[in-house]
Chain A
Amino acid sequence: MAKGKMGSSVKHDVIAAEDVITSELTRGERALDLVWRSWLFIFLLGLIVFFWSQTPANSFLTGSNFKLIALNTSEVILLAIGETFVIVTAGIDLSIGGILLIAGTCGGKVMLALSGTHAQVQMGLYPHATTAICVGIAVCIVMGTAWGLVNGLLITLLKLPPFIVTLGTLGITFGLSDLISGGTNFFAPVPPSFTDKIGNGTFLGLYVPIWIAIFFLIVAHIVYHHLRFGRYTAAVGSNEEGARRTGIAVNRQIVKVYALAGFLAGSAAVLDLAIFTNISRASHSSDNLNAIGAVVIGGTSLFGGVGTIIGSAIGAFIPTIAQNGLVIMNVPSFWQEVLVGVTIIFAVYLDQVRRRRSSK
């Protein structure tokens, strides 16, 4: 038994020595974390200050303009929430812009078809607006979720890389949307009551879509941090094989996560119809860029395992603020895409540096 005693005294030394190492590591990590977290705020603040200084007084930095920015961000926030869950599993969803478009196209078509006869609607009469709106919303959401399911099933059943599957469904959904719509806008706007109540409607001074985005944000934050669903999502992204060995139904979790992203894209389609009364391919060609940008700029690692819902929501403001500011500056808003593209690359580079340091 003397051996055992000796062993345990050695062990205490070992642990004491290790505690020092670990605490140093985490202190360094914490400092890096702080820089990491704050760079997004600094960048956002810099962007706001830049536009404020470059635009005429009372044009950019006003309450009403910021409400408008928030309204335009609400859709990106929904897409970014879904994308966050997907990226935490170490996957990627390149199809959400296409899913939004096809869900909105079908939902909008159904809404118009059920609102009344073609002639009535063309004259601006929508006799069955309420039913039409409800069914239209359901179509958007079901359509979005279904495409998300398709993504998830293809990835897990055929064991294909998410990048390829969702690139494929992006092409499919864009193409099908144009086939369904004939490549043109709807023959009439969606029912005005829909636009009035949701798109332009306000509650406590904020547009309804903003409240919807806030609601989804809170729910998603709770799901990610406090529900088993969130934990399994992170476990799958952190160590897929390890998660499988502990008995987690890894494939089912992956399918659920892509279905969730599809559901949120469908919900974003509802907001899109309500805000813009119409839907077109041109306005959704950079949705993926904006949503993925929001997620990686917000601090979620492309390598899986860690993520933040709130970060993605803040990141979602970068494309919309840029767009808004550039329009006011009278600069072609195409620069927005350039800016977001550059920022994504920078953010992923930072993440990689951070990972390399922490794995040392």
Chain B
Amino acid sequence: MTALSVTTPNSSGVEPILEARNIQKHFGHVVALREGNFQLRPDEIHAIVGDNGAGKSTLIKIISGVFHADGGEVLLDGRPVSITNPREARVLGIETVYQDLALAEHLDAAANLFLGREMLLPPPLSWFGFLDKKSMKQRAEGEMQRLKIGIQSVEQPVQSLSGGQRQAVAVARAIAWGNRIVIMDEPTAALGVRESAMVLELMREVKNHGIAVIMISHNLPEVFAVADRITVLRLGRTIATIDTSDTSLEAVVGFMTGALDALV
């Protein structure tokens, strides 16, 4: 019994930047993923949806190096890769924006953007670790402008920003370092309506800069508003991958709940 993805695999002629084939993952006796299949194109926002326990998070965590798959393979640019930890994923250009954002709330947006990768003043000052605050501020402002992120000042502590603005800072950090794939785990879960709209707009902006976005979401209207394609998981299996423009909310819900059968 195999569930095949429907999509028009390469009908668009675009090679997938990232592909997961037949991913399996067990936790003891619990099977979290039986057959995780997923293809990401370089120029899309791809949503992964499914009911609780469908295996969305497991699939994402295997791609981002948090979990190690028990079976199957991950291909980047058509070549099999082994991603054993998040740092390796980052080196390969895959960055994850976690739900809890991982920002240092007391530091300002510029400091957060450069956290762990600070720019230093020229030697001999760099030997002592003197920060080049001015350059970092300018680059942070440039980055915010590039993504059309509206915050008053990049020198404001992150804790004084709104939820959407914090999310924006976290996204800016994820893509500021030449990454090609950004994974966003429930990016709007904690946000109000307006803030969510802002984050969705930001995701489009990220895509316009040639960065592929994977989003996990429970919110189907949002998925339909922003995603180009949707992959549906049910009980650890990829049920379908559909172009958003070719489907309806009802159909996706059908796939998620099993009311509609897998597209075989």
What is the interface of chain A, defined by CB distance below 8 A to chain B? 3-4, 7-8, 10-11, 14-15, 17-19, 21-23, 25-26, 29, 226-229, 231, 234-235, 237-239, 241-243, 245-248, 304-306, 358-359
* Interface of chain A, main secondary structure: helix
Interface-centre pick from A18, A21, A247 (highest chain B CB count, 10 A): A18
Tell me the complex Cα distance, A165–B241, Å.
54
A242 to B72 alpha-carbon distance, docked (Å): 30
A239 in contact with B103 given A227-B130, A359-B159 (CB within 8 Å)? yes
Residues of the A chain whose Cβ atoms lie less than 8 Å from the Cβ of B194: 14, 17-18
Asked if B131 lies at the interface with its beta carbon under 8 angstroms from chain A, I say: yes
CB distance from A299 to the nearest CB of B (A): 13
Q: Which residues of B contact A248 (CB under 8 A)?
A: 115-116
30 pairs of residues in contact across A and B, judged by CB atoms under 8 Å = A3-B225, A4-B204, A7-B197, A7-B201, A11-B198, A11-B201, A14-B164, A17-B194, A18-B165, A18-B195, A18-B198, A21-B162, A29-B160, A226-B130, A227-B130, A228-B118, A235-B107, A235-B111, A235-B115, A238-B105, A239-B102, A239-B103, A239-B105, A241-B102, A242-B102, A242-B115, A246-B115, A246-B116, A247-B87, A305-B105
Min Cβ gap A2→B in Å is 13
- Judge whether B152 is part of the interface by a CB distance below 8 angstroms: yes
Task: Mark each residue of chain B from 120 to 161: 1 if its CB lies under 8 Å from any CB of chain A, else 0.
Answer: 100000001111010000000000000010111000100111
CB pair A11 B104 closer than 8 Å:
no
Kindly state the separation between the CA atoms of A248 and B104 in the bound complex, as whole angstroms.
Answer: 12
Q: How far is the CB of B263 from chain A (nearest CB, A)?
A: 26
Q: Tell me if B26 is interfacial: C-beta within 8 Å of chain A.
A: no
Is the pair B150, A18 in contact by a Cβ cutoff of 8 Å?
yes
Number of B positions contacting A (CB below 8 A): 40
CA A8 – CA B208 in complex, angstroms?
13
A115 to B167, CA, bound (A): 64
Q: Which 10 A-B pairs have the closest CB atoms?
A: A305-B106, A15-B150, A246-B116, A242-B102, A228-B129, A238-B104, A247-B116, A238-B106, A11-B201, A246-B115
Q: Which residues of A contact B105 (CB under 8 A)?
A: 238-239, 305
- 8 Å CB contact of A11 from B148, B152, B160, B162: B148
Q: Mark B157-192, 1 if CB is under 8 A from A, else 0.
A: 001111011000000000000000000000000000
A241 to B194, CA, bound (A): 29
Say whether A23 contacts B201, CB under 8 Å: no
B200 within 8 A of A: yes
Per a CB cutoff under 8 Å, which of B102, B151, B162 touches A246? B102
Residues of B within 8 A of A3 (CB): 225
Which of chain B's residues have a CB closer than 8 A to the CB of A239? 102-105
Q: Is the CB of B104 within 8 A of A305?
A: yes
Whole-angstrom distance between the Cβ of B213 and the nearest chain A Cβ: 15
**Quick one: which of B116, B148, B159, B164 contacts A358, CB cutoff 8 A?**
B159
Chain B residues, Cβ within 8 Å of A234: 104, 106-107
User: How many whole Å from B92's CB to the nearest CB in chain A?
Assistant: 15
Q: Are B198 and A15 in contact (CB under 8 A)?
A: yes
Q: B143: shortest Cβ distance to chain A, in Å? A: 16
Give the residues in chain A near B111, CB-CB below 8 Å: 231, 235
Residue of B nearest to A236 (CB): B104
The reply to whether B102 and A228 form a contact with Cβ atoms under 8 Å apart is: no
Q: Is the CB of A14 within 8 A of B198?
A: yes
Question: Any chain A CB within 8 A of the CB of B71?
Answer: no
User: Which A residues are CB-close (under 8 A) to B160?
Assistant: 22, 25-26, 29, 358
Chain B min CB distance to A137 (Å):
24
Neighbouring B residues of A17 by C-beta, 8 Å: 194
- Cross-interface CB contact of A242 among B104, B133, B197, cutoff 8 Å: B104
Nearest A residue (CB) for B163:
A18
Closest B residue, CB atoms, query A26: B160
Q: Are A26 and B156 in contact (CB under 8 A)?
A: yes
Question: B201 contacts A243, CB within 8 Å?
Answer: no
Question: Complex: how many Å from CA A87 to CA B61?
Answer: 34
B150 pairs with A228, CB closer than 8 A: no
Partner of B102, one of A4, A226, A245: A245
Q: Across the interface, name the chain A residue whose C-beta is closest to B226.
A: A7
Smallest Cβ distance from A78 to chain B, in angstroms? 20
For A237, the chain B residues whose CB sits under 8 A away are 106
**In this complex, what residue of A is CB-closest to B156?**
A26
Task: Give Cα distance in the complex from A17 to B151, angstroms.
Answer: 12
Alpha-carbon distance between A153 and B125 when the two chains are bound, in angstroms: 29
Q: Which of the listed residues B115, B130, B200 has the most CB atoms from chain A within 10 Å of its own CB?
A: B115
Q: Do B150 and A19 have beta carbons less than 8 Å apart?
A: yes
Whether the pair B150, A227 counts as a contact (CB closer than 8 A) is no
